[in-house]
Amino acid sequence: MAGTVSLPMENLPSRITLPNVSPANSELTNRGAYVARTADCMACHRDDYSGGVPIETPIGNIYSTNITPSTRYGIGNYTEADFKKALRKGRAPNHQLYPAMPYPSYHGMTDEDISALFAYFQTVPIVDTPPEKTTHLPFSLNIRSLMLAWNVINVPSTENRSGLTNTQQRGEYLVNNLEHCGTCHTPRNLTQGLDKDRYLSGAPLGKWFAPNITPDNDTGIGLWSEMDIVNYLRTGTLDKRAYAGGPMAEAVAHSIRYLTDEDLIAMASYLKVVPAIKTDDYLIPVNVSRLPQPVSDSITYDLLEQKDYLAQAKAETVTSVDSRISSHDVNDSNSPKDLYLIHCASCHGVDGYAQPDARYASIVGLSSIRRVKTDALVGVIAFGAKGAFNTAPKMPGFSKDLSPAQIASITNYVRVTFGGLPNSDVSAADVTRVIKEKS
């Protein structure tokens, strides 16, 4: 049934209302503000669109530009046709843009959305200063005109599927063209374009890994219902299953959580029908009976109770050796549990349930601790996570304070205790390699 919405909407966590960023407040500019949110222009051009944010690429940092209507430093002289060319083809009036600006995804934006976006950008406050930093690549890499050949191979970055319902078509448009989920979740080909054959099947992303989000049951999100996907995308969490950290936390915070119910449902419905791709990054199914119970009903909310309980746990020195948790490399008197209590439990709780309301992640059952490939998890523990808002708590990195053997030991502890895995054998050598590769 094309276009019908089949999900129980009343169960949805409520939507974050879009701040009224456009003073003009007309229907057209408000629509443009919504398109700007869904396309997450702020992620790279800053909240005030003044630019200067570095985008890491294999050829070096490319800095975003000022896109306020300043005629000196921004896009005040752009016509709507210029704007359309920049979004769809990566052509600024005087030069070819690097694809750090996701025009290969925006290529498919509709004329109506581009017009609304253009009207909205006329109304954002002018920032009459140049970005703090601009792109300076060495001459040999200054390949702006070579990008034209690249574009022939890599633009557009996605293909439209046939046989979709109206709702799924809307979802496809959001996933591919506005939200550009594939720029993180689709692996790159040899030319750094998106590899269409491995669409949404997971890709490394700096210190993080954006997992497989195709509907494969063993390595992707095939076991998630549409409602699970909607809940995760709106709140960034899925109880005892998944958490949106790092770059995904930012995508949720700055863009995805503002989407209307209809648009979230459209994306979820579409993600269920993209081709399932099995990768070698298996998710070990969660065995709910092995997961710990919260220590008490109130402990996740009561900080003092949590503090007392932690003190008590630390006082009971752990002497028993748990054979499931490989810690053979640790040459000190602290057991894996001790290490966890000392370094992690103050934020994540003795029982792993943490303080979700204060944005300390509950780590019980998370997909990120149940993957066969553990590099991303080791990366989070070694380098930390900064949280999506200035006010969000940060996770410190432990690569300086703990030895690789200790980090391995904690990783194994977390996977077995809070992931419910039968065993885990991350070694000190694995940790050393990850730290070297991601530093």
| Chain residues in the site for ligand HEC (CB under 6 A) | 36, 39-41, 43-45, 55, 62, 64-65, 67, 75, 86, 92, 97-98, 100-102, 117, 135, 175, 179, 181, 183-185, 205, 208, 210-211, 213, 221, 232-233, 242-249, 251, 256, 267, 343-344, 346-348, 360-361, 363, 366-369, 377, 380-381, 385, 387, 393, 395-396, 398, 410, 414
- Nearer of residues 213 and 330 to ligand HEC, judged by Cβ: 213
- Nearer of residues 95 and 328 to ligand HEC, judged by Cβ: 95
Q: Which residues contact 272 (CB under 8 A, 6 or more apart)?
A: 215, 226, 229
Give the position of tokens 């081709």: 275
Q: Is 55 helix (H, G, I), strand (E, B) or coil?
A: strand
Q: How far is the CB of 90 from ligand HEC (least distance, A)?
A: 8
Dist. CA 147–CA 95, nearest whole Å = 10
- Nearer of residues 1 and 151 to ligand HEC, judged by Cβ: 151
Q: How far is the CB of 102 from ligand HEC (least distance, A)?
A: 5
Q: How far is the CB of 354 from ligand HEC (least distance, A)?
A: 8
Q: How far is the CB of 177 from ligand HEC (least distance, A)?
A: 10
Q: Which residues contact 69 (CB under 8 A, 6 or more apart)?
A: 75, 76, 121, 122, 124, 126
- Nearer of residues 64 and 157 to ligand HEC, judged by Cβ: 64
Q: Which residues contact 285 (CB under 8 A, 6 or more apart)?
A: 370
Q: Is there a contact between 363 and 414 (Cβ–Cβ < 8 Å)? A: yes
Q: How far is the CB of 156 from ligand HEC (least distance, A)?
A: 15
Residue nearest to ligand HEC (CB): 245
Bridge-partner residues for 243, per DSSP? Answer: 237
- Nearer of residues 143 and 295 to ligand HEC, judged by Cβ: 143
E strands of 136-236, at which residues? 203-205, 208-210
Dist. CA 292–CA 294, nearest whole Å = 7
- Nearer of residues 1 and 353 to ligand HEC, judged by Cβ: 353
Q: Please report, for residues 62, 261, 376, the alpha-carbon distance to residue 29 in angstroms, rounded to integers and kept in the order given.
A: 29, 21, 40
Alpha helices in 255-351 (DSSP H): 261-271, 303-315, 336-343, 345-348
Q: How far is the CB of 45 from ligand HEC (least distance, A)?
A: 6
- Nearer of residues 1 and 265 to ligand HEC, judged by Cβ: 265
Q: How far is the CB of 302 from ligand HEC (least distance, A)?
A: 17
Cβ atoms < 10 Å from Cβ of 422 = 10
Q: How far is the CB of 402 from ligand HEC (least distance, A)?
A: 7
- Nearer of residues 1 and 94 to ligand HEC, judged by Cβ: 94
Dist. CA 347–CA 359, nearest whole Å = 10
Cβ atoms < 10 Å from Cβ of 176 = 27
- Token readout for 162 is 């046939």
Give the position of tokens 């949106």: 244
